[in-house]
Amino acid sequence: MINKNSPIPIYYQLEEAIKDKIEKGELKPGEALPSEREYAEMYNISRMTVRQAITQLVNSGYIYRLQGKGTFVAERKIEQPLTGLTSFTEDMEARGLTPASQFISFSIIPASQAIASQLSIQEYGPVYEMKRVRLADDVPMALETTYISANLVKGLTEEIASRSFYAYIEEHLKLKIGHASQQIEAASADSAEALHLQIKKGSPILLIQRNTFLEGDVPLEVVKSVYRADRYKFMINMKR
Ligand code: 16G
Q: Quick one: pLDDT band at residue 121, thresholds 50, 70, 90?
A: very high
- Regarding the beta carbon of 88 and ligand 1, being less than 6 Å apart is answered yes
State yes or no: pLDDT of 61 exceeds 90.
Answer: no
Question: Does the beta carbon of 227 lie inside 6 Å of ligand 1?
Answer: no
Mean pLDDT, residues 112-132 taken together: 98
Tell me the CA–centroid distance for residue 239 and ligand 1, in Å. 27
pLDDT computed for residue 206 by the predictor: 96
Task: Decide: 164 in ligand 1 pocket, CB within 6 A.
Answer: yes
Atom 5 of ligand 1: nearest residue by CA position: 87
Closest ligand 1 atom, residue 90 Cα? 18
Distance CA 105, CA 223 (A): 14
The answer to whether residues 135 and 101 touch, using CB atoms and an 8 Å cutoff, is: yes
The DSSP call for residue 219 is: E
Its pTM stands at 0.82
Ligand 1 pocket, residue 80 CB under 6 Å: no
**Nearest C-alpha neighbor of 213 from the set 162, 163, 177, 185:** 177
Beta-carbon contacts of 122 under 8 Å, excluding residues fewer than 6 positions away, are 111, 116
Residue 231 has a pLDDT of: 87
| Alpha carbon nearest to ligand 1 atom 16, residue | 164
Q: Above 90 in pLDDT, residue 1?
A: no
At 78, the pLDDT band (50, 70, 90 cuts) reads confident
pLDDT > 90? residue 188: yes
Percent of the chain with pLDDT over 70: 100
Average pLDDT, the chain: 94
Q: What is the DSSP letter of 92?
A: H
Q: What is the pLDDT of residues 12-51, one digit of tens each?
A: 999 999 999 998 999 999 999 999 999 999 999 999 999 9
CA–centroid distance, residue 19 to ligand 1 (Å) = 32
Q: Indicate whether residue 91 lines ligand 1 (CB < 6 A).
A: no
pLDDT at 110: 98
User: Which residues make Cβ contacts (< 8 Å) with residue 7, sequence separation at least 6?
Assistant: none
pLDDT digits (tens, 9 = 90+) for 123-171: 999 999 999 999 999 989 999 999 999 999 999 999 999 999 999 999 9
From the CA of 166, give the closest atom in ligand 1: 17
**Cα–Cα distance, 75 to 57 (Å, whole number):** 13
With 90 as the cut, is the pLDDT of residue 89 above it? yes
